[in-house]
Structure 1
Amino acid sequence: MALTINSNLSALQGQNQLSQTQKTKEKLLAQLSAGKTTDNAANNPANAAISEALLAQINGSNQAINNANDGVSLAQTADGALNQIQDNTQQIQELAIQAGNGALSASNRQALQQQVDQLTQANSAIVQSTEFNGTPLLNSNNPTTFQVGPNGSADNQVNVPGINLAAAPASGGLNSYNANLNATGTIDISTQAGALAAQQSTAADLNTLASTRSTLGAVSNRFEASINDLQTASLNASAANSRISDTDFASASAQLAANQILGQAGLATQAQANISARSALSLLG
Protein backbone atom coordinates (compact mmCIF):
# COMPACT_ATOMS: atom_id res chain seq x y z
CA MET A 1 0.00 0.00 0.00
CA ALA A 2 1.29 3.46 -0.95
CA LEU A 3 2.39 5.77 1.83
CA THR A 4 0.18 8.88 1.50
CA ILE A 5 -0.90 11.86 3.61
CA ASN A 6 -3.94 13.40 1.89
CA SER A 7 -5.86 10.11 1.78
CA ASN A 8 -5.43 8.05 4.93
CA LEU A 9 -7.51 5.02 3.97
CA SER A 10 -6.83 3.18 7.21
CA ALA A 11 -8.12 6.13 9.21
CA LEU A 12 -11.19 6.48 6.98
CA GLN A 13 -12.02 2.78 7.33
CA GLY A 14 -11.54 3.04 11.09
CA GLN A 15 -13.88 6.05 11.24
CA ASN A 16 -16.56 4.15 9.30
CA GLN A 17 -16.32 1.12 11.56
CA LEU A 18 -16.32 3.30 14.68
CA SER A 19 -19.46 5.08 13.43
CA GLN A 20 -21.26 1.75 12.87
CA THR A 21 -20.24 0.56 16.32
CA GLN A 22 -21.55 3.78 17.89
CA LYS A 23 -24.90 3.45 16.09
CA THR A 24 -25.27 -0.12 17.31
CA LYS A 25 -24.49 0.98 20.88
CA GLU A 26 -27.11 3.73 20.67
CA LYS A 27 -29.68 1.26 19.35
CA LEU A 28 -28.95 -1.22 22.15
CA LEU A 29 -29.07 1.50 24.81
CA ALA A 30 -32.44 2.67 23.47
CA GLN A 31 -33.78 -0.90 23.64
CA LEU A 32 -32.49 -1.35 27.19
CA SER A 33 -33.92 1.97 28.39
CA ALA A 34 -37.34 1.47 26.74
CA GLY A 35 -37.53 -2.27 27.38
CA LYS A 36 -38.76 -2.73 23.81
CA THR A 37 -37.09 -3.60 20.54
CA THR A 38 -39.91 -1.95 18.57
CA ASP A 39 -39.73 1.44 20.28
CA ASN A 40 -38.39 2.78 16.99
CA ALA A 41 -40.22 1.31 13.99
CA ALA A 42 -37.08 1.77 11.86
CA ASN A 43 -35.32 -0.92 13.89
CA ASN A 44 -37.68 -3.64 12.68
CA PRO A 45 -40.65 -2.39 10.63
CA ALA A 46 -42.28 -5.83 10.27
CA ASN A 47 -42.14 -6.59 13.99
CA ALA A 48 -43.36 -3.08 14.82
CA ALA A 49 -46.43 -3.56 12.62
CA ILE A 50 -47.19 -6.98 14.14
CA SER A 51 -46.71 -5.60 17.64
CA GLU A 52 -49.14 -2.74 17.04
CA ALA A 53 -51.76 -5.17 15.73
CA LEU A 54 -51.31 -7.37 18.78
CA LEU A 55 -51.54 -4.35 21.10
CA ALA A 56 -54.81 -3.34 19.46
CA GLN A 57 -56.16 -6.85 20.04
CA ILE A 58 -54.95 -6.87 23.66
CA ASN A 59 -56.45 -3.46 24.44
CA GLY A 60 -59.70 -4.39 22.71
CA SER A 61 -59.95 -7.66 24.65
CA ASN A 62 -59.25 -5.92 27.96
CA GLN A 63 -61.95 -3.32 27.33
CA ALA A 64 -64.35 -6.05 26.23
CA ILE A 65 -63.68 -7.78 29.57
CA ASN A 66 -64.71 -4.57 31.33
CA ASN A 67 -67.85 -4.43 29.19
CA ALA A 68 -68.72 -8.03 30.02
CA ASN A 69 -68.19 -7.37 33.73
CA ASP A 70 -70.62 -4.46 33.43
CA GLY A 71 -73.06 -6.89 31.82
CA VAL A 72 -72.66 -9.26 34.75
CA SER A 73 -73.28 -6.40 37.17
CA LEU A 74 -76.41 -5.35 35.28
CA ALA A 75 -77.77 -8.90 35.29
CA GLN A 76 -76.97 -9.30 38.98
CA THR A 77 -78.72 -6.02 39.79
CA ALA A 78 -81.85 -7.13 37.96
CA ASP A 79 -81.72 -10.59 39.49
CA GLY A 80 -81.35 -9.17 43.01
CA ALA A 81 -84.48 -7.08 42.49
CA LEU A 82 -86.35 -10.05 41.04
CA ASN A 83 -85.34 -12.16 44.01
CA GLN A 84 -86.93 -9.64 46.39
CA ILE A 85 -90.09 -9.47 44.28
CA GLN A 86 -90.18 -13.25 44.28
CA ASP A 87 -89.91 -13.36 48.08
CA ASN A 88 -92.70 -10.79 48.38
CA THR A 89 -94.90 -12.72 45.96
CA GLN A 90 -94.41 -15.94 47.89
CA GLN A 91 -95.56 -14.11 51.02
CA ILE A 92 -98.60 -12.85 49.10
CA GLN A 93 -99.39 -16.41 48.08
CA GLU A 94 -99.13 -17.62 51.67
CA LEU A 95 -101.46 -14.83 52.81
CA ALA A 96 -103.91 -15.67 50.01
CA ILE A 97 -103.95 -19.31 51.10
CA GLN A 98 -104.47 -18.21 54.68
CA ALA A 99 -107.33 -15.93 53.60
CA GLY A 100 -109.00 -18.92 51.99
CA ASN A 101 -109.58 -20.38 55.45
CA GLY A 102 -113.33 -20.36 56.10
CA ALA A 103 -112.79 -19.95 59.82
CA LEU A 104 -111.54 -16.37 59.33
CA SER A 105 -113.76 -13.38 59.87
CA ALA A 106 -114.01 -10.37 57.57
CA SER A 107 -111.83 -8.36 59.93
CA ASN A 108 -109.24 -11.14 59.87
CA ARG A 109 -109.12 -11.01 56.07
CA GLN A 110 -108.93 -7.22 56.16
CA ALA A 111 -105.82 -7.46 58.30
CA LEU A 112 -104.32 -9.94 55.83
CA GLN A 113 -105.33 -7.62 52.98
CA GLN A 114 -103.33 -4.79 54.52
CA GLN A 115 -100.23 -6.99 54.51
CA VAL A 116 -100.83 -7.92 50.87
CA ASP A 117 -101.23 -4.26 49.94
CA GLN A 118 -97.88 -3.43 51.51
CA LEU A 119 -96.23 -6.23 49.54
CA THR A 120 -97.82 -5.28 46.20
CA GLN A 121 -96.81 -1.66 46.75
CA ALA A 122 -93.25 -2.83 47.48
CA ASN A 123 -93.22 -4.94 44.30
CA SER A 124 -94.48 -2.00 42.24
CA ALA A 125 -91.82 0.31 43.69
CA ILE A 126 -89.06 -2.20 42.89
CA VAL A 127 -90.30 -2.56 39.31
CA GLN A 128 -90.30 1.20 38.81
CA SER A 129 -87.04 2.05 40.57
CA THR A 130 -84.64 -0.75 39.61
CA GLU A 131 -82.06 0.57 37.15
CA PHE A 132 -78.39 0.29 36.23
CA ASN A 133 -76.53 3.50 35.41
CA GLY A 134 -79.83 5.16 34.49
CA THR A 135 -81.12 2.23 32.42
CA PRO A 136 -84.45 0.83 33.71
CA LEU A 137 -84.22 -2.92 34.15
CA LEU A 138 -87.70 -4.17 35.03
CA ASN A 139 -90.11 -1.88 33.19
CA SER A 140 -88.69 -1.67 29.69
CA ASN A 141 -88.95 -3.88 26.63
CA ASN A 142 -85.69 -2.52 25.22
CA PRO A 143 -82.76 -4.97 25.24
CA THR A 144 -79.29 -3.85 26.33
CA THR A 145 -76.41 -4.78 24.03
CA PHE A 146 -72.85 -5.29 25.27
CA GLN A 147 -69.75 -5.45 23.08
CA VAL A 148 -67.76 -8.41 24.39
CA GLY A 149 -65.03 -8.75 21.76
CA PRO A 150 -62.22 -6.72 20.18
CA ASN A 151 -64.02 -6.68 16.82
CA GLY A 152 -67.29 -4.92 16.03
CA SER A 153 -69.06 -7.99 14.63
CA ALA A 154 -72.43 -9.34 15.71
CA ASP A 155 -70.88 -12.46 17.21
CA ASN A 156 -68.96 -10.22 19.65
CA GLN A 157 -72.16 -8.93 21.23
CA VAL A 158 -74.39 -10.15 24.05
CA ASN A 159 -77.96 -8.91 24.39
CA VAL A 160 -79.69 -8.70 27.75
CA PRO A 161 -83.38 -9.00 26.88
CA GLY A 162 -85.75 -6.29 28.00
CA ILE A 163 -87.87 -7.10 31.05
CA ASN A 164 -91.22 -5.35 31.47
CA LEU A 165 -92.97 -6.48 34.63
CA ALA A 166 -95.11 -3.34 34.38
CA ALA A 167 -96.87 -4.74 31.32
CA ALA A 168 -100.20 -6.53 31.41
CA PRO A 169 -99.95 -10.03 32.90
CA ALA A 170 -100.80 -11.52 29.50
CA SER A 171 -97.73 -9.74 28.10
CA GLY A 172 -95.29 -10.88 30.78
CA GLY A 173 -96.18 -8.40 33.51
CA LEU A 174 -97.09 -9.06 37.13
CA ASN A 175 -100.55 -9.24 38.67
CA SER A 176 -99.03 -7.71 41.80
CA TYR A 177 -97.87 -4.55 39.96
CA ASN A 178 -99.76 -1.27 39.99
CA ALA A 179 -98.46 2.00 38.53
CA ASN A 180 -99.97 3.74 41.56
CA LEU A 181 -97.51 2.94 44.32
CA ASN A 182 -100.17 3.64 46.96
CA ALA A 183 -102.81 1.44 45.37
CA THR A 184 -104.72 -1.06 47.50
CA GLY A 185 -106.56 -4.16 46.43
CA THR A 186 -104.16 -4.87 43.55
CA ILE A 187 -104.31 -8.44 44.81
CA ASP A 188 -107.65 -8.80 46.56
CA ILE A 189 -107.97 -11.38 49.34
CA SER A 190 -110.74 -9.61 51.25
CA THR A 191 -113.12 -12.47 50.44
CA GLN A 192 -112.74 -16.22 50.29
CA ALA A 193 -113.45 -16.19 46.54
CA GLY A 194 -110.98 -13.38 46.04
CA ALA A 195 -108.38 -15.34 47.99
CA LEU A 196 -108.78 -18.27 45.60
CA ALA A 197 -108.34 -16.01 42.56
CA ALA A 198 -105.33 -14.37 44.25
CA GLN A 199 -103.67 -17.77 44.63
CA GLN A 200 -103.94 -18.29 40.89
CA SER A 201 -102.61 -14.77 40.17
CA THR A 202 -99.62 -15.17 42.46
CA ALA A 203 -98.86 -18.60 41.00
CA ALA A 204 -98.75 -16.99 37.54
CA ASP A 205 -96.49 -14.23 38.88
CA LEU A 206 -94.13 -16.76 40.43
CA ASN A 207 -93.89 -18.59 37.10
CA THR A 208 -93.11 -15.30 35.33
CA LEU A 209 -90.44 -14.42 37.86
CA ALA A 210 -88.84 -17.87 37.74
CA SER A 211 -88.68 -17.76 33.92
CA THR A 212 -87.23 -14.25 33.93
CA ARG A 213 -84.56 -15.13 36.49
CA SER A 214 -83.66 -18.23 34.49
CA THR A 215 -83.12 -16.08 31.39
CA LEU A 216 -80.92 -13.66 33.34
CA GLY A 217 -78.94 -16.58 34.75
CA ALA A 218 -78.25 -17.88 31.25
CA VAL A 219 -77.14 -14.41 30.12
CA SER A 220 -74.83 -14.12 33.14
CA ASN A 221 -73.27 -17.47 32.26
CA ARG A 222 -72.67 -16.25 28.73
CA PHE A 223 -70.96 -13.13 30.05
CA GLU A 224 -68.76 -15.27 32.31
CA ALA A 225 -67.83 -17.53 29.39
CA SER A 226 -66.96 -14.47 27.29
CA ILE A 227 -64.78 -13.09 30.09
CA ASN A 228 -62.88 -16.38 30.40
CA ASP A 229 -62.34 -16.54 26.63
CA LEU A 230 -61.22 -12.90 26.45
CA GLN A 231 -58.79 -13.32 29.33
CA THR A 232 -57.20 -16.31 27.58
CA ALA A 233 -57.01 -14.44 24.28
CA SER A 234 -55.48 -11.38 25.95
CA LEU A 235 -52.90 -13.52 27.74
CA ASN A 236 -51.86 -15.34 24.57
CA ALA A 237 -51.66 -12.10 22.57
CA SER A 238 -49.57 -10.52 25.34
CA ALA A 239 -47.18 -13.47 25.28
CA ALA A 240 -46.85 -13.21 21.50
CA ASN A 241 -46.27 -9.47 21.67
CA SER A 242 -43.65 -9.96 24.38
CA ARG A 243 -41.68 -12.35 22.18
CA ILE A 244 -41.75 -9.83 19.35
CA SER A 245 -41.25 -6.49 21.07
CA ASP A 246 -39.79 -6.93 24.56
CA THR A 247 -36.05 -6.47 25.00
CA ASP A 248 -34.05 -9.56 25.97
CA PHE A 249 -31.91 -7.84 28.59
CA ALA A 250 -29.37 -10.66 28.84
CA SER A 251 -28.75 -10.69 25.10
CA ALA A 252 -28.83 -6.90 24.68
CA SER A 253 -26.46 -6.39 27.62
CA ALA A 254 -23.99 -8.89 26.14
CA GLN A 255 -24.18 -7.17 22.75
CA LEU A 256 -23.69 -3.78 24.39
CA ALA A 257 -20.57 -5.01 26.22
CA ALA A 258 -19.18 -6.43 22.97
CA ASN A 259 -19.83 -3.14 21.13
CA GLN A 260 -18.23 -1.13 23.91
CA ILE A 261 -15.09 -3.24 23.51
CA LEU A 262 -15.26 -2.81 19.74
CA GLY A 263 -15.62 0.94 20.22
CA GLN A 264 -12.53 1.09 22.43
CA ALA A 265 -10.62 -1.04 19.94
CA GLY A 266 -11.80 1.23 17.13
CA LEU A 267 -10.53 4.31 18.94
CA ALA A 268 -7.15 2.65 19.49
CA THR A 269 -7.01 1.62 15.83
CA GLN A 270 -7.95 5.13 14.75
CA ALA A 271 -5.08 6.52 16.79
CA GLN A 272 -2.65 4.07 15.17
CA ALA A 273 -3.93 4.98 11.70
CA ASN A 274 -3.30 8.64 12.39
CA ILE A 275 0.20 7.92 13.68
CA SER A 276 1.11 5.81 10.62
CA ALA A 277 0.62 8.79 8.34
CA ARG A 278 3.26 10.71 10.23
CA SER A 279 5.88 8.19 9.16
CA ALA A 280 5.87 9.95 5.80
CA LEU A 281 7.70 12.81 7.48
CA SER A 282 10.70 10.57 8.16
CA LEU A 283 11.27 10.35 4.43
CA LEU A 284 11.80 14.10 4.31
CA GLY A 285 14.39 14.07 7.06
Structure 2
Amino acid sequence: MALSVNTNLSALSGQYQLDKTQQAKKQILAQLASGSQLNSAADNAANLAISQQLQAQINGNNQALNNTSDGISMVQTADSALSQLQDNTQQIQTLAIQAGDGALNSSNRQALQQQVDQLTQSNSQIVQSAQFNGTPLLSGGNATTFQVGANGTASDQLTVPGINLSSAPAAGGLNGYNANLGATNTIDVTTQANALAAQQNTQADLGTIGSQRSTLGAISNSFNSVINNLQTSNISNQAANSRISDTDFAAATAQLASQQILGQAGTLTQAQANIAPQAALSLLG
Protein backbone atom coordinates (compact mmCIF):
# COMPACT_ATOMS: atom_id res chain seq x y z
CA MET A 1 0.00 0.00 0.00
CA ALA A 2 1.42 3.38 -1.01
CA LEU A 3 2.36 5.83 1.69
CA SER A 4 0.62 9.13 0.98
CA VAL A 5 -0.28 12.35 2.80
CA ASN A 6 -3.01 13.92 0.62
CA THR A 7 -5.33 10.89 0.79
CA ASN A 8 -5.59 8.92 4.07
CA LEU A 9 -7.70 5.90 3.08
CA SER A 10 -7.45 4.37 6.54
CA ALA A 11 -8.83 7.54 8.12
CA LEU A 12 -11.66 7.75 5.57
CA SER A 13 -12.62 4.13 6.19
CA GLY A 14 -12.52 4.75 9.93
CA GLN A 15 -14.73 7.81 9.56
CA TYR A 16 -17.26 5.79 7.58
CA GLN A 17 -17.41 3.03 10.18
CA LEU A 18 -17.55 5.51 13.04
CA ASP A 19 -20.44 7.33 11.36
CA LYS A 20 -22.35 4.04 10.96
CA THR A 21 -21.81 3.34 14.64
CA GLN A 22 -23.08 6.78 15.64
CA GLN A 23 -26.20 6.36 13.47
CA ALA A 24 -26.88 2.96 15.01
CA LYS A 25 -26.52 4.41 18.53
CA LYS A 26 -28.87 7.25 17.60
CA GLN A 27 -31.50 4.81 16.35
CA ILE A 28 -31.23 2.60 19.43
CA LEU A 29 -31.46 5.59 21.79
CA ALA A 30 -34.62 6.74 19.94
CA GLN A 31 -36.13 3.28 20.41
CA LEU A 32 -35.29 3.30 24.11
CA ALA A 33 -36.61 6.83 24.61
CA SER A 34 -39.90 6.29 22.75
CA GLY A 35 -40.53 2.65 23.59
CA SER A 36 -41.11 2.04 19.87
CA GLN A 37 -38.78 0.55 17.30
CA LEU A 38 -40.72 2.26 14.49
CA ASN A 39 -40.01 5.96 14.95
CA SER A 40 -39.88 6.69 11.23
CA ALA A 41 -40.64 4.95 7.95
CA ALA A 42 -36.90 4.51 7.45
CA ASP A 43 -36.74 2.15 10.44
CA ASN A 44 -38.94 -0.45 8.73
CA ALA A 45 -41.42 0.79 6.14
CA ALA A 46 -43.35 -2.50 5.82
CA ASN A 47 -43.73 -3.01 9.56
CA LEU A 48 -44.74 0.63 10.01
CA ALA A 49 -47.58 0.20 7.49
CA ILE A 50 -48.78 -2.97 9.23
CA SER A 51 -48.53 -1.30 12.62
CA GLN A 52 -50.60 1.66 11.46
CA GLN A 53 -53.31 -0.66 10.15
CA LEU A 54 -53.39 -2.57 13.42
CA GLN A 55 -53.54 0.67 15.43
CA ALA A 56 -56.41 1.94 13.28
CA GLN A 57 -58.30 -1.29 13.97
CA ILE A 58 -57.60 -0.95 17.69
CA ASN A 59 -58.79 2.66 17.76
CA GLY A 60 -61.92 1.73 15.82
CA ASN A 61 -62.65 -1.16 18.19
CA ASN A 62 -62.25 1.12 21.19
CA GLN A 63 -64.79 3.58 19.81
CA ALA A 64 -67.11 0.71 18.90
CA LEU A 65 -66.85 -0.44 22.53
CA ASN A 66 -67.95 3.01 23.66
CA ASN A 67 -70.86 2.94 21.20
CA THR A 68 -71.88 -0.51 22.41
CA SER A 69 -71.78 0.64 26.02
CA ASP A 70 -74.13 3.48 25.06
CA GLY A 71 -76.45 0.90 23.53
CA ILE A 72 -76.43 -1.16 26.71
CA SER A 73 -77.17 1.94 28.78
CA MET A 74 -80.09 2.79 26.52
CA VAL A 75 -81.53 -0.71 26.77
CA GLN A 76 -81.11 -0.75 30.55
CA THR A 77 -82.87 2.60 30.86
CA ALA A 78 -85.80 1.37 28.75
CA ASP A 79 -86.00 -1.90 30.67
CA SER A 80 -86.00 -0.05 33.99
CA ALA A 81 -88.97 2.02 32.83
CA LEU A 82 -90.77 -1.11 31.60
CA SER A 83 -90.11 -2.78 34.94
CA GLN A 84 -91.90 0.06 36.74
CA LEU A 85 -94.79 -0.15 34.26
CA GLN A 86 -94.99 -3.86 34.95
CA ASP A 87 -95.13 -3.35 38.72
CA ASN A 88 -97.83 -0.68 38.40
CA THR A 89 -99.89 -2.81 36.01
CA GLN A 90 -99.71 -5.79 38.34
CA GLN A 91 -101.09 -3.58 41.10
CA ILE A 92 -103.88 -2.44 38.78
CA GLN A 93 -104.73 -6.05 38.04
CA THR A 94 -104.88 -6.87 41.75
CA LEU A 95 -107.20 -3.90 42.34
CA ALA A 96 -109.39 -4.97 39.41
CA ILE A 97 -109.70 -8.47 40.87
CA GLN A 98 -110.57 -6.94 44.23
CA ALA A 99 -113.20 -4.72 42.57
CA GLY A 100 -114.86 -7.87 41.22
CA ASP A 101 -115.76 -8.93 44.75
CA GLY A 102 -119.57 -8.89 45.08
CA ALA A 103 -119.32 -7.92 48.74
CA LEU A 104 -118.08 -4.44 47.80
CA ASN A 105 -120.39 -1.47 47.36
CA SER A 106 -120.03 1.43 44.94
CA SER A 107 -118.19 3.52 47.51
CA ASN A 108 -115.65 0.76 47.99
CA ARG A 109 -115.10 0.46 44.27
CA GLN A 110 -114.74 4.23 43.92
CA ALA A 111 -111.91 4.11 46.44
CA LEU A 112 -110.29 1.35 44.39
CA GLN A 113 -110.83 3.43 41.24
CA GLN A 114 -108.86 6.31 42.76
CA GLN A 115 -105.91 3.98 43.32
CA VAL A 116 -106.20 2.65 39.78
CA ASP A 117 -106.30 6.20 38.41
CA GLN A 118 -103.10 7.10 40.24
CA LEU A 119 -101.37 4.05 38.76
CA THR A 120 -102.58 4.66 35.18
CA GLN A 121 -101.55 8.29 35.42
CA SER A 122 -98.12 7.19 36.65
CA ASN A 123 -97.85 4.71 33.78
CA SER A 124 -98.84 7.35 31.24
CA GLN A 125 -96.24 9.72 32.63
CA ILE A 126 -93.53 7.02 32.38
CA VAL A 127 -94.46 6.25 28.77
CA GLN A 128 -94.26 9.92 27.82
CA SER A 129 -91.12 10.86 29.75
CA ALA A 130 -88.83 7.82 29.43
CA GLN A 131 -85.89 8.87 27.24
CA PHE A 132 -82.18 8.43 26.69
CA ASN A 133 -80.19 11.50 25.66
CA GLY A 134 -83.35 13.04 24.28
CA THR A 135 -84.51 9.92 22.42
CA PRO A 136 -87.98 8.69 23.51
CA LEU A 137 -87.80 5.09 24.66
CA LEU A 138 -91.43 4.00 25.06
CA SER A 139 -93.26 6.24 22.59
CA GLY A 140 -92.81 7.13 18.94
CA GLY A 141 -91.65 3.68 17.92
CA ASN A 142 -88.41 4.90 16.34
CA ALA A 143 -85.63 2.31 16.13
CA THR A 144 -82.07 3.31 17.11
CA THR A 145 -79.03 1.90 15.31
CA PHE A 146 -75.59 1.68 16.94
CA GLN A 147 -72.24 1.31 15.16
CA VAL A 148 -70.66 -1.61 17.02
CA GLY A 149 -67.76 -2.44 14.68
CA ALA A 150 -64.82 -0.77 12.97
CA ASN A 151 -65.06 -2.28 9.47
CA GLY A 152 -67.82 -0.13 8.00
CA THR A 153 -70.11 -3.03 7.06
CA ALA A 154 -73.80 -3.66 7.76
CA SER A 155 -72.81 -6.41 10.20
CA ASP A 156 -71.08 -3.76 12.30
CA GLN A 157 -74.45 -2.23 13.20
CA LEU A 158 -76.95 -3.31 15.85
CA THR A 159 -80.47 -1.91 16.01
CA VAL A 160 -82.67 -1.46 19.06
CA PRO A 161 -86.30 -1.82 17.88
CA GLY A 162 -88.61 1.09 18.55
CA ILE A 163 -91.31 0.84 21.23
CA ASN A 164 -94.59 2.73 21.06
CA LEU A 165 -96.73 2.04 24.13
CA SER A 166 -98.63 5.26 23.49
CA SER A 167 -100.33 3.82 20.39
CA ALA A 168 -103.68 2.06 20.38
CA PRO A 169 -103.73 -1.32 22.17
CA ALA A 170 -104.36 -3.08 18.85
CA ALA A 171 -101.14 -1.53 17.52
CA GLY A 172 -99.03 -2.56 20.51
CA GLY A 173 -99.95 0.18 22.98
CA LEU A 174 -101.25 -0.09 26.54
CA ASN A 175 -104.86 -0.08 27.65
CA GLY A 176 -103.66 1.69 30.77
CA TYR A 177 -102.16 4.64 28.85
CA ASN A 178 -103.83 8.00 28.33
CA ALA A 179 -102.22 11.01 26.65
CA ASN A 180 -103.97 13.17 29.26
CA LEU A 181 -101.83 12.63 32.35
CA GLY A 182 -104.69 13.71 34.58
CA ALA A 183 -107.26 11.38 33.02
CA THR A 184 -109.44 9.17 35.21
CA ASN A 185 -111.22 5.87 34.51
CA THR A 186 -108.65 4.93 31.84
CA ILE A 187 -109.00 1.51 33.43
CA ASP A 188 -112.52 1.37 34.93
CA VAL A 189 -113.24 -0.76 38.02
CA THR A 190 -116.35 1.04 39.27
CA THR A 191 -118.61 -1.95 38.54
CA GLN A 192 -118.20 -5.70 38.59
CA ALA A 193 -118.57 -5.90 34.82
CA ASN A 194 -116.03 -3.14 34.30
CA ALA A 195 -113.69 -4.81 36.78
CA LEU A 196 -113.80 -8.02 34.71
CA ALA A 197 -112.98 -6.08 31.53
CA ALA A 198 -110.21 -4.28 33.45
CA GLN A 199 -108.67 -7.62 34.39
CA GLN A 200 -108.58 -8.63 30.75
CA ASN A 201 -107.09 -5.27 29.71
CA THR A 202 -104.38 -5.36 32.37
CA GLN A 203 -103.55 -8.96 31.44
CA ALA A 204 -103.08 -7.83 27.84
CA ASP A 205 -100.90 -4.92 29.03
CA LEU A 206 -98.75 -7.27 31.08
CA GLY A 207 -98.28 -9.44 28.00
CA THR A 208 -97.26 -6.40 25.92
CA ILE A 209 -94.79 -5.20 28.54
CA GLY A 210 -93.35 -8.69 29.02
CA SER A 211 -92.85 -9.08 25.27
CA GLN A 212 -90.99 -5.75 25.06
CA ARG A 213 -88.77 -6.67 28.00
CA SER A 214 -87.94 -10.01 26.36
CA THR A 215 -86.93 -8.20 23.16
CA LEU A 216 -84.74 -5.79 25.08
CA GLY A 217 -83.17 -8.68 26.97
CA ALA A 218 -82.19 -10.34 23.70
CA ILE A 219 -80.75 -7.08 22.38
CA SER A 220 -78.79 -6.61 25.60
CA ASN A 221 -77.28 -10.08 25.19
CA SER A 222 -76.30 -9.16 21.63
CA PHE A 223 -74.56 -6.02 22.88
CA ASN A 224 -72.68 -8.03 25.50
CA SER A 225 -71.60 -10.54 22.85
CA VAL A 226 -70.31 -7.67 20.69
CA ILE A 227 -68.30 -6.32 23.63
CA ASN A 228 -66.69 -9.72 24.20
CA ASN A 229 -65.77 -10.01 20.53
CA LEU A 230 -64.34 -6.48 20.38
CA GLN A 231 -62.27 -7.01 23.51
CA THR A 232 -60.91 -10.31 22.19
CA SER A 233 -60.09 -8.68 18.85
CA ASN A 234 -58.31 -5.80 20.58
CA ILE A 235 -56.17 -8.15 22.64
CA SER A 236 -55.07 -9.99 19.49
CA ASN A 237 -54.41 -6.79 17.55
CA GLN A 238 -52.49 -5.20 20.41
CA ALA A 239 -50.36 -8.31 20.82
CA ALA A 240 -49.55 -8.30 17.10
CA ASN A 241 -48.81 -4.59 17.10
CA SER A 242 -46.58 -4.96 20.14
CA ARG A 243 -44.49 -7.63 18.44
CA ILE A 244 -44.03 -5.37 15.43
CA SER A 245 -43.53 -1.96 16.98
CA ASP A 246 -42.62 -2.12 20.67
CA THR A 247 -38.99 -1.84 21.70
CA ASP A 248 -37.40 -4.95 23.17
CA PHE A 249 -35.48 -3.20 25.95
CA ALA A 250 -33.31 -6.21 26.77
CA ALA A 251 -32.14 -6.52 23.17
CA ALA A 252 -31.90 -2.76 22.63
CA THR A 253 -29.74 -2.14 25.71
CA ALA A 254 -27.44 -4.99 24.67
CA GLN A 255 -27.15 -3.46 21.19
CA LEU A 256 -26.47 -0.04 22.71
CA ALA A 257 -23.64 -1.45 24.82
CA SER A 258 -22.19 -3.11 21.74
CA GLN A 259 -22.38 0.08 19.67
CA GLN A 260 -20.83 2.11 22.49
CA ILE A 261 -17.86 -0.27 22.55
CA LEU A 262 -17.58 -0.10 18.78
CA GLY A 263 -17.74 3.69 18.97
CA GLN A 264 -14.91 3.83 21.48
CA ALA A 265 -12.85 1.42 19.39
CA GLY A 266 -13.63 3.44 16.26
CA THR A 267 -12.52 6.64 17.93
CA LEU A 268 -9.21 5.10 18.98
CA THR A 269 -8.74 3.60 15.51
CA GLN A 270 -9.44 6.95 13.91
CA ALA A 271 -6.77 8.54 16.07
CA GLN A 272 -4.24 5.94 14.91
CA ALA A 273 -5.25 6.43 11.26
CA ASN A 274 -4.70 10.17 11.58
CA ILE A 275 -1.20 9.58 12.91
CA ALA A 276 -0.16 7.17 10.13
CA PRO A 277 0.72 9.86 7.48
CA GLN A 278 3.31 11.27 9.85
CA ALA A 279 5.47 8.31 8.89
CA ALA A 280 6.15 10.11 5.63
CA LEU A 281 8.10 12.73 7.58
CA SER A 282 10.64 10.14 8.65
CA LEU A 283 11.54 9.61 5.01
CA LEU A 284 12.36 13.33 4.66
CA GLY A 285 14.64 13.20 7.65
TM over 0.5: yes
Superposition map of 1:205-244 within 5 A: 205-244=205-244
1:141, CA displacement in angstroms? 1.3
| 2:49 aligned partner | 49
- Opposite residue 197 of structure 1, the aligned amino acid is A
Quote the Cα distance in structure 1 between the aligned partners of 2:231 and 2:20: 44
- Opposite residue 99 of structure 1, the aligned amino acid is A
Quote the Cα distance in structure 2 between the aligned partners of 1:41 and 1:131: 49
| Cα deviations by residue, 1:165-217 (Å, 9 ceiling, x for unpaired) | 00000000000000000000100111111101100100000000000000000
Superposition map of 1:1-285 within 5 A: 1-285=1-285
Q: Is the partner of 2:284 in helix, strand or coil?
A: coil
Quote the Cα distance in structure 2 between the aligned partners of 1:207 and 1:144: 23
Quote the Cα distance in structure 1 between the aligned partners of 2:23 and 2:125: 72
TM-score scaled by structure 2? 0.99
- Opposite residue 180 of structure 2, the aligned amino acid is N
| Cα deviations by residue, 1:51-85 (Å, 9 ceiling, x for unpaired) | 00000001111111111111111000000000000
- Opposite residue 232 of structure 1, the aligned amino acid is T
| Cα deviations by residue, 1:99-151 (Å, 9 ceiling, x for unpaired) | 01111000000000000000000000000110011111000211000111111
Quote the Cα distance in structure 1 between the aligned partners of 2:10 and 2:251: 32
Quote the Cα distance in structure 2 between the aligned partners of 1:152 and 1:112: 56
| Cα RMSD for the two superposed structures | 0.5
Quote the Cα distance in structure 1 between the aligned partners of 2:248 and 2:115: 72
Q: Is the partner of 1:158 in helix, strand or coil?
A: strand
1:229, CA displacement in angstroms? 0.5
Q: Is the partner of 1:189 in helix, strand or coil?
A: coil
Q: Which runs of 5+ in 2 are unaligned?
A: none
The percent of aligned pairs where both chains have the same amino acid is 68
Quote the Cα distance in structure 2 between the aligned partners of 1:142 and 1:95: 33
Q: Which runs of 5+ in 1 are unaligned?
A: none
Quote the Cα distance in structure 1 between the aligned partners of 2:170 and 2:278: 108
TM-score scaled by structure 1? 0.99
